[in-house]
Amino acid sequence: MSIEQRVFSGVQPTGNLHLGNYLGAITRFVALQEDYDCMYCVVDLHAITVWQDPEELRHNTREVTAAFLAAGIDADKQIVFNQSQVSGHAELAWIFNCVARIGWLNRMTQFKEKAGKNRENASVGLYAYPNLMAADILLYRATHVPVGEDQKQHLELARDIAQKFNNDFATSIKAKGHGEAFFPLPEPLITGPATRVMSLRDGTQKMSKSDPSDLSRINLADDADTIAKKIKKAKTDPAPLPESEAELEDRPEARNLVGIYAALAEVSPREVLGEFGGAQFSAFKKALTELTVAKIVPIGDEMRRLLADPDAIDQVLAAGSEKARAIAEPNMAIIKDIVGFIT
């Protein structure tokens, strides 16, 4: 059976959607819809691996959906939905819990970071999270997965799971007429100048939803004054901007701001340095503020407009979930048959 090309990606509804999510993931989602059939999922099952207030979870799910739409994802042509409306994600995740090895999960750096010192007290879901992520992708036999750099290890695990399933069930897959391999090995698409946007307060740390300092990130919902204040306070070093990219090597904060500018202006970092090399940060920050405000504030405004009608957003998710189920259900029936479940 030939495998069609399909893009799948997800964003957690855990609040504080920021410039890293936007530049590292959402802008890529928008670009890919020109060439691929795409599925963009609000991964609410992932969110509850850490306790979420139910009302906030509902709001945050709508907010991520609004961000997708405001950024330009066409929910009529592509599939925009929330994970929990398609039961196949949880079903396939269970099968993958039985395919993936404990040793594989023990290597996941994100679990170690998120669980922190009190690992005994982390939820079992947080530990098994990468198996659910593999299920998200493989339930639709997706072939391409646009993500930021921080998801690379999870994507490698998804490929290992796909491979092991194909091997473990090779005889059954063949006997049932599905060729040599049922799952594709999904390819990560980690592209563009902003695959790892760093904190504005510390250029060695990733910009993150969970950083306690709101000054560390630009949120998609921030207004112009807030953006201006955050960029003004962003950490820099005393030297002016360099002329070449090589000279950014040991200057994480400068490199990050140049990367953000490049991504927002859709030019290369080299071009940014061509314009601002030799300039003081004060001048560069002014230009960066203007550019960020021009690009981000309209998205925040559109998100607020969409969020004023939550029923309309819920309808988008319901329609998208129906389309997703139409792909998931036949695939899940085949997977159950391959595994040996009577259906």
Catalytic residue among 152, 164, 174, 209: 209
Token couple for 94: 């269970």
For ligand TYM, which is the closer residue by CB, 144 or 173? Answer: 144
Q: Which two tokens stand for residue 301?
A: 């405004």
Helix-strand-coil percent breakdown of the chain, rounded to 5? Answer: 60, 5, 35
User: What Rg value do the Cα atoms of the chain yield, rounded?
Assistant: 21
Q: Is 43 in the site for ligand TYM (CB under 6 A)?
A: yes
162 binds ligand TYM (CB under 6 A): no
Interface map 166-195 toward ligand TYM (x if CB under 6 A): ----------------------------xx
The minimum distance between CB 260 and ligand TYM, in angstroms, equals 10
Task: Output the six-digit token pair for 42.
Answer: 């609000």
Neighbour-count burial for 146-185, b at 16+ CB within 10 Å, e otherwise: bbbebbebbbebbbbbbebbbeebeeebeeeebeebbbbe
Q: Is residue 229 a contact residue for ligand TYM (CB under 6 A)?
A: no
Judged by CB under 6 A, the residue of 25, 67, 231, 241 near ligand TYM is 25
CA nearest neighbour of 181 among 171, 190, 189, 191: 171
Is 206 a residue of the active site?
yes
Q: Which residue, 154 or 285, is less far from ligand TYM as judged by CB?
A: 154
DSSP H helices in 8-122: 19-21, 27-32, 44-47, 54-71, 88-97, 102-106, 109-115
Candidates 15, 88, 148, 193: give the one binding ligand TYM (CB under 6 A).
148
Q: How far is the CB of 306 from ligand TYM (least distance, A)?
A: 19
Q: Name residue, tokens 């204040």.
A: 229
Q: Least distance to ligand TYM from the beta carbon of 203, Å?
A: 12
Candidate list 15, 20, 184, 203; residue touching ligand TYM; CB under 6 A: 20
- What single letter denotes the amino acid at residue 15? G
Looking at residue 197, what DSSP letter applies?
P
Task: Report the interface residues with ligand TYM, using CB under 6 A.
Answer: 8-12, 20-21, 24-25, 43, 46, 133, 136-137, 145, 147-148, 150-151, 154, 194-197, 206-207
